[in-house]
Amino acid sequence: MLLAASACDVVAGAVIGWWAVSGVFALGPFALLFAVASVLLITALLRKSRRLLVIALALTLVAELEPLGGVTASAILRAPIPWLGSVVPLCAGALSIAGMAAGLVMWRPSSDAPTP
One digit per residue, pLDDT tens: the chain, 116 residues?
888 999 999 999 898 888 888 777 778 888 899 999 999 999 998 998 999 999 999 999 999 988 888 777 777 777 666 666 788 888 999 999 999 999 999 887 655 555 55
Q: How far is CA 12 from the centre of its chain?
A: 7
Query: So what's the pLDDT on residue 54?
Result: 94
Query: So what's the pLDDT on residue 6?
Result: 92
Q: Decide if 42 contacts 3 (C-beta within 8 A).
A: yes
- Supply the pTM of this predicted model: 0.82
Query: So what's the pLDDT on residue 59?
Result: 94
Query: So what's the pLDDT on residue 88?
Result: 86
Q: Which of 5, 4, 1, 107 lies closest to 48, judged by CA?
A: 107
Query: So what's the pLDDT on residue 2?
Result: 86
